[in-house]
């Protein structure tokens, strides 16, 4: 039975754990993007190492999250309850998700665009920054949104090792057989994931305004095609079945005359 009054009674705790959840999520998302984009670029340019880079990054996602949370303190020399363990693990999962997307994004850049920039005398770094990165931007943004949603979800697992975000409501509600608390964790996690996604979409529109203009141009062209019919002229299917003579009938009348 859901006790809705519990939300108002525990609003302060909900806000505190929501902020902790956000703080645990943001650094891994940023780190994953910063690491994956260069890896994806190298993989798209060096076919010999593409399989190793993409495959090696993908293997990271096969490691169980709980096992990685427990193992990282031995590698990093941190305490078991340190939030850094969760953040490093989530960054690794983000790299595993986005490296292939980044490689495909840079691989989809037309060779003609790169050649044109090269013929204009652009140095290598400027070709990447001014041509390839903007063209690969929409695909990279889509990958970042997937990483964001996955990271916000996986932060909840940290509660099993004592690093609490909104996942605390899952474990505590399960131990107390209190579904209201579990629902609070579900709603809070979904709200944080939605907020992050909206922020990323807004950043994409701010940093890549040409994608918005292109989308508007496509809508205008589509509406223009619909209104291109000449006034007073009926479509062919409307002329069918009328008594007006068609082209073939006119020819026959001319021959008869």
**pLDDT number for residue 151:** 96
pLDDT digits (tens, 9 = 90+) for 219-241: 455 555 554 555 555 555 444 44
**pLDDT number for residue 104:** 93
**pLDDT number for residue 17:** 95
Burial class (CB in 10 A: 0-12, 13-18, 19+), 148: buried
**Closest CA relative to residue 193, chosen from 151, 144, 160, 159:** 151
**pLDDT number for residue 236:** 52
Q: Is 211 helix (H, G, I), strand (E, B) or coil?
A: helix
pLDDT digits (tens, 9 = 90+) for 160-202: 888 889 999 999 999 999 999 999 999 999 999 999 999 999 9
CB 196 within 8 A of CB 148: yes
Characterise 162 by phi-psi region: left (phi > 0), alpha (psi -120 to 50), beta (else). Answer: left
Instruction: Using a pLDDT cut of 90, give the percent of the chain over it.
Output: 53
Contacts of 113 (CB under 8 A, 6+ apart): 131, 132, 135
**pLDDT number for residue 58:** 86
Q: What is the mean pLDDT of the chain?
A: 84
Token pair, residue 169, equals: 């409501």
pLDDT digits (tens, 9 = 90+) for 96-137: 999 999 999 999 888 898 889 888 888 888 888 888 999 999
Residue 212 reports pLDDT greater than 50: yes
- pLDDT bin (cut points 50, 70, 90) of residue 255 is very low
Torsion on CA atoms 132, 101, 94, 76, rounded to nearest 10 = -70
* Residue pointed to by tokens 């652009």: 122
**pLDDT number for residue 253:** 35
């Amino acid at each position: 039975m859901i006790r809705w009054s519990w939300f108002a009674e525990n609003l302060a705790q909900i806000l505190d754990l929501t902020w902790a959840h956000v703080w645990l999520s943001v650094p891994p998302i940023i780190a994953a993007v910063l690491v994956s984009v260069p890896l994806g670029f190298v993989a798209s340019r060096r076919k010999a190492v593409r399989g190793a880079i993409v495959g090696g990054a993908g293997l990271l996602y096969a490691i169980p999250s709980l096992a990685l949370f427990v193992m990282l303190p031995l590698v990093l020399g941190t305490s078991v309850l340190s939030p850094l363990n969760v953040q490093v693990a989530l960054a690794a999962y983000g790299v595993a998700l986005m490296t292939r997307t980044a490689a495909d994004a840079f691989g989809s850049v037309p060779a003609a665009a790169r050649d044109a920039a090269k013929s204009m005398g652009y140095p290598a770094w400027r070709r990447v920054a001014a041509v390839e990165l903007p063209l690969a931007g929409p695909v990279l943004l889509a990958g970042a949104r997937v990483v964001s949603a996955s990271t916000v979800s996986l932060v909840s697992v940290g509660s099993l090792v004592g690093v609490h975000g909104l996942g605390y409501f899952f474990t505590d509600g399960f131990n107390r057989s209190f579904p209201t608390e579990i629902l609070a964790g579900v709603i809070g996690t979904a709200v944080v994931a939605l907020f992050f996604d909206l922020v990323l979409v807004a950043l994409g529109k701010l940093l890549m305004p040409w994608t918005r203009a292109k989308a508007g141009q496509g809508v205008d062209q589509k509406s223009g095609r619909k209104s291109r019919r000449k006034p007073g002229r009926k479509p062919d299917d409307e002329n069918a079945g009328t008594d007006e003579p068609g082209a073939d009938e006119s020819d026959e009348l001319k021959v008869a005359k």
